[in-house]
Structure 1
Amino acid sequence: MNALDPFPTAPPDPFLTSAALRALSEAVRDAAGRAPQADRVVDELRLGRRLLDETPAGIGILDQRLRYLYVNDALAKANGLPVEEHLGRPMPEVIPGSGPSAEVAREVLRTGRPQVVVFDGRPPADPVDVPRYWLGAFQRLDADDGEVLGVAAIVMEVTDGIRQNETLRRAQDRLELLAETATRVGGTLDAAQACRALTDLLVPRFADYAAVDVVDPEGTPRAPATPAPVWLRRMAVTAAPSTHGPLPAPVTRGGEVIFHQASSSMARVLTEHEPVVLNRPDDDAVRLMAPTRQRLERYRAMGLHSVAYLPLMHAGEPIGAVIVGRRGDSPEFAPADVEVLAQVTARAATGIGHALRYTHEHETTLEMQRAFLATPQRTGPGVEIASRYLPAGRGAEVGGDWFDTVTLPGGRTLLVVGDVMGHGVRAAAAMSEYRSLIRTLALQGLAPDRLLAEADRTAHALDLDRVATCVLALLDPGAGHAVLATAGHVPPLLARPDSVPELADLPVGPPLGTGTGGYGSRCLPMPQGSLLLLYTDGLVERRGRDIDAGLTALAATPVTPGHPLPHVLDLVLGGLAPVGSEDDVTLLAARLGHGPASHATAADLGNRPPP
């Protein structure tokens, strides 16, 4: 064999068989007269051959044309062919698909540098079409004179280890995905944002299109127990960019109410609580399973070849479903895909369920407050008022703030600002009870301190489950003064003409509903043009900051009594109220003058106007 000729044409000489080698070694031992050195050489030769023959690692020795010269039983078994069918034949001919390992062997022959690689393949006789993996070490064989004899390959199957590592990797990836789902979807109490976070997580990682439909109070408020037509709210939809063109506009809108017929996949998944998968359905199946029978053309225009519906279950009840679709060159949904998608949607359902409940309660509470605060405000003569109500920012529960004005005999006007402890629907309901109670007592002509005492006693007797802070200001323009009393509320801001604004110094009583009583009042002079600002603690209180700092900032606000009241409110809000406050902010400003009352403003229930 010539080292300069990489493609010798002579047939290869396979290694001696084990039996022939054993017979030859015995003959050598006899011919040597059992010389000790000869015995040692023979023993080492036979030991080396036994090692090659009996090791569990597959061993093959090939010539320069990659023809097998030697194959042990382990390698023959791994290849699924007898030893005899290997000898003298090239590796690619014996094992179709062995191109990568053959390339490694050629590289080792060319460079002389050993290589250790992992390669996959499938033995010809393997009945299961599943890849298997081997670890191979390739070493060039050189004669003492430098002639290249061939290459030796030692391989061991590592399929189980790689599959175990792959299983662990997939499990780790799945745990990270579920953690990401919980963080992104569960990190907001805005239902639309939570649903959008889920569709953005799914596209394009798992699908080309994703949408979330949920039960809706204006459509179908509860999923039916048996298949029935349903109206669901499409909360979010996301589509991946594609060379096949954008999705049609009618199917990419969020916020619309979608009708699903009784035979649709959506109705089925809501009643069976199990995923529904449609891989390349025909037109008849699409007509049956689509939201409406008329949407076949729209579905075909989307180019989706496979769709999966997965239920969103929260507290044992279906709250909606996720629709994911694939189009173009994306593969169909395999069982493993559906398993992962089901775990993701199950984890997301908790966050979406909480967000839907919060959003419903938040909107209900806000509507209650708006209904109460939208009542036209009336005052006695000589009192001008302006008011503003800012609900808490998104992600914060609406509280129980309220304000009121009551016209009393003798040209007097009672101003009321209160704040029920807590947030949500129950706080708003309690707010309505306190508001009605104080209005009723005010019409009895009670002084502010007596009014608070009676309200406290009555609320305690009625066992209202929430206490409330409150401040009252009885304005008398004719007398030029106001009588103020407080039940655990923040002090009003008083600005008289030609004087520095100051916080009213009032006797502090306990919140209403405690039943402890003990309220006092104070009469403060308020000449014509004086301004009084009542507010709730949402204006001055911040997390991580002492409320005294907020009160000091309010007192330092350059309030000018002569300015229009809406301008005064804008000035105060612009300097103190943060965007997205964690608590409601309520303000009621009043200015004393002569003549009939001015009714220029009422509760502003929208967003804060620009300062």
Structure 2
Amino acid sequence: MGAEVPARDAVGASMDAAAVAMGVNRDALLSALVTDLPFGVALLDQDLACQYVNDTFVSLTGTDDPRTIEAVADAARDVLLDGVPRVGDYGTARLRVQRLDLEPEDAVSAGASESGSAGSEGVGSGAARSGAAGSGSAGSGPPARTGVLVLAKADDEEAVQNRARLSLLTSAGARIGTTLDIDTTCTELARFTVPTLADLAAVDILPPGVPDHRLGVPLGSARLLRAAVAGTPELHPQLATLAHPGETVRHRDGSAVARSLAAAKPVAVTLRTEEDLAVALSDEHSRTVFRAAGIGAMLALPLTARGHLLGALVLARSGDREFSDAEIAMIEDLADRAALSIDNARRYMRSQGIALELQRALLAEPANPHPNLEIACRYLPSGTSTVVGGDWYETVRLPFGRTLLVIGDVMGHGVEAAVDMSTYRSMLRYVAGADLPPHRILRQLDSLISENEAARPATCLLALLEPSRNRVTFSSAGHLPPALITPGRPTELLALPSGPPLGTGVGGYEHLVRELVPGQVLLLYTDGLVERRHEDIDVSLERLAALPLPAAGELDDLLDAVLHSSDPAQAEDDIALLAARVVQRG
């Protein structure tokens, strides 16, 4: 800092010219100008070599070389190219990086010799020459050189707090609410706060099925459900005695959490004495943990969204570190942001629960087939969640011992898809009652569905089984091929002519007749069984064909084998299965 500037440096040359004009020592002039300024100053040459920094710049940024600040180095290169100043933040400082267009050394030397002695005439003449050199006109001497000026100014406390708040919420937005699962969201919230904001965090929420609780209304005897808990590694031994996720907790009247929920605002308390612990905490287990961990401060905040109480966030710090007003305001913003994510997950799970119940109610067991046919069916929502879609199956008894097998998949998920599924199923029963060939049934369905502009398209596969003739007739509306399982032979995926999904109004369905003899099993399925993200559908189907599936035995055992081998927990869509086997006639 304050090191001598190289004689041929453009910035140093400019300072030399000013010193000559004023008749003073150049270093003394530089020191008087910038050393004691209330803001930081750093000068870089056109090669971005640091030529000068003052003490204020070092105290604000923690470095005497601006190039070690990546943002400054990048901005300096950019301003040399386009001349547009850049501003930004670094720590608690506000930085400005701008280009300096400077006179070359030869021009400064010439100007100094012409001026003869220091005086106002020399300063004025120097300024005029500087303007001429900067113009770049022909015959004006060597081209102008450039440098970079970096200024650093301390932000006020409010600006620092606002920036910290924005940084916290931005980070929280990326790390909290990554799924629509309540437990996962609560765990993300607890882990986000430790150790940045607290040494210990717990998230308690209203149990599922509890009516919406208005803000400011005491919980009374109601219990909360511990959804997540997190602590620093030093506190892990003490966490064993706290309520674990999945257990219920009660915050009695007068405790810090109860007061926070009743007042609908944060409550911060210090825990210096046994009396403080007894008042703030509801149970002896919690007091034991806090006492053993040396917890000295606690903050309870309500988790609220859309005018309703969802639960509470409890943070605690060991030692003498209390929660400042600025920190409480920032954590309150964080709690509000997280509460919205929790509420979104809660609403999603509630709607999916309704959809699942509706799906199960609508997707009743298929009608009984003829005695010459065994069937088994299975439905699973996506993975281990309750995300339901429009998968469905059906069997229709027809004259002369024939049975129509149906499997379909309405596009989309949720209540709407389940309702559309029911519509398709009802129409299918109606059309199939006319005893039409499978391809004509699809044509009629497509025509009826396409008249409703709000209806969702659906894939569908029909299989008309005729045990007396040992044959089956297929027709497909964009559905995946059925599997034929024969004892002692590999599973065969039947290649069928496929028309467009139902509801498009395009039509164009064909049929295919295949032999089906007693002992063979016909397996119809929806895409959730085989499709996997980042995998080609042909690879997925080959995996199904390679499964060693038992053709003999109970059909339910076969479905178990199919699901076990395909790992439905990895499925990204719901799964419907329908298996059928012609009964051997004695």
Q: Same fold (TM over 0.5)?
A: yes
Residue 90 of structure 1 is matched in structure 2 by: none
The answer to whether the Cα contact below 8 Å between 2:349 and 2:386 also exists between their aligned partners in 1 is no
Going from structure 1 to structure 2, the CA distance change for 1:297 and 1:231 (only over 3 Å counts) comes to closer
What does 1:372-387 correspond to in 2, within 5 Å? 372-373=362-363, 375=365, 378-387=368-377
Matched, 1:206 2:228: no
Residue 236 of structure 1 is matched in structure 2 by: 228
**1:334 paired residue among 324, 328, 352:** 324
Residue 267 of structure 2 is matched in structure 1 by: 276
What does 1:47-446 correspond to in 2, within 5 Å? 164=155, 174-224=165-215, 226-227=217-218, 229=220, 230-240=222-232, 246=238, 249=241, 251-258=242-249, 269=260, 273-280=264-271, 295=282, 297-303=284-290, 306-315=297-306, 317-326=308-317, 329-373=319-363, 375=365, 378-393=368-383, 397-442=387-432, 445-446=435-436
In structure 1, C-alpha distance between the alignment counterparts of 2:337 and 2:182, rounded to whole Å: 15
In structure 2, C-alpha distance between the alignment counterparts of 1:458 and 1:233, rounded to whole Å: 49
In structure 2, C-alpha distance between the alignment counterparts of 1:464 and 1:482, rounded to whole Å: 34
**1:526 paired residue among 497, 500, 516:** 516
Residue 528 of structure 2 is matched in structure 1 by: 538
Structure 1 unaligned spans of 5+? 1-50, 59-116, 119-160, 597-611
Matched, 1:482 2:472: yes
In structure 1, C-alpha distance between the alignment counterparts of 2:214 and 2:519, rounded to whole Å: 60
Residue 67 of structure 2 is matched in structure 1 by: none
Q: Deviations over 1:124-155 (max 9, x none)?
A: xxxxxxxxxxxxxxxxxxxxxxxxxxxxxxxx
**Structure 1 residue 526 displacement after superposition:** 0.8
In structure 1, C-alpha distance between the alignment counterparts of 2:394 and 2:507, rounded to whole Å: 22
| Structure index of larger Rg | 1
**Structure 1 residue 322 displacement after superposition:** 1.2
Alignment root-mean-square deviation, CA: 4.3
In structure 2, C-alpha distance between the alignment counterparts of 1:540 and 1:296, rounded to whole Å: 51
Q: Deviations over 1:557-601 (max 9, x none)?
A: 5556446545544554465556422222322222222259xxxxx
In structure 2, C-alpha distance between the alignment counterparts of 1:352 and 1:526, rounded to whole Å: 53
**Structure 1 residue 196 displacement after superposition:** 0.8
Going from structure 1 to structure 2, the CA distance change for 1:393 and 1:173 (only over 3 Å counts) comes to farther
Superposition TM-score, scaled by structure 1 size: 0.60
**Residue identity opposite 1:400 in structure 2:** G
What does 1:35-46 correspond to in 2, within 5 Å? none
Residue 514 of structure 1 is matched in structure 2 by: 504
The answer to whether the Cα contact below 8 Å between 1:220 and 1:231 also exists between their aligned partners in 2 is no
Q: Deviations over 1:331-387 (max 9, x none)?
A: 332213312322332332343333333333334333443445563773322323333
Of residues 207-216 and 472-481 in structure 1, the stretch that sits farther from structure 2 once superposed is 207-216
Matched, 1:491 2:455: no
Aligned to 1:385, the other structure's residue is in SS state strand
Q: Deviations over 1:249-287 (max 9, x none)?
A: 4x4222245556677765665575432323349999988
Q: Deviations over 1:50-73 (max 9, x none)?
A: x9xx99999xxxxxxxxxxxxxxx
Going from structure 1 to structure 2, the CA distance change for 1:556 and 1:505 (only over 3 Å counts) comes to same
The answer to whether the Cα contact below 8 Å between 1:279 and 1:333 also exists between their aligned partners in 2 is no
Going from structure 1 to structure 2, the CA distance change for 1:272 and 1:545 (only over 3 Å counts) comes to same
In structure 1, C-alpha distance between the alignment counterparts of 2:329 and 2:464, rounded to whole Å: 67
In structure 2, C-alpha distance between the alignment counterparts of 1:518 and 1:400, rounded to whole Å: 23
Of residues 439-448 and 347-356 in structure 1, the stretch that sits farther from structure 2 once superposed is 439-448
The answer to whether the Cα contact below 8 Å between 2:214 and 2:307 also exists between their aligned partners in 1 is no
In structure 1, C-alpha distance between the alignment counterparts of 2:266 and 2:400, rounded to whole Å: 72
In structure 2, C-alpha distance between the alignment counterparts of 1:56 and 1:190, rounded to whole Å: 57
In structure 2, C-alpha distance between the alignment counterparts of 1:192 and 1:275, rounded to whole Å: 23
In structure 1, C-alpha distance between the alignment counterparts of 2:438 and 2:421, rounded to whole Å: 19
In structure 2, C-alpha distance between the alignment counterparts of 1:367 and 1:248, rounded to whole Å: 37
Residue 69 of structure 1 is matched in structure 2 by: none
Of residues 568-577 and 398-407 in structure 1, the stretch that sits farther from structure 2 once superposed is 568-577
The answer to whether the Cα contact below 8 Å between 1:528 and 1:593 also exists between their aligned partners in 2 is yes
In structure 1, C-alpha distance between the alignment counterparts of 2:274 and 2:444, rounded to whole Å: 73
**Structure 1 residue 310 displacement after superposition:** 2.0
**1:469 paired residue among 459, 479, 503:** 459
In structure 2, C-alpha distance between the alignment counterparts of 1:245 and 1:234, rounded to whole Å: 18
What percent identity do the matched residue pairs reach? 41
In structure 1, C-alpha distance between the alignment counterparts of 2:346 and 2:186, rounded to whole Å: 10
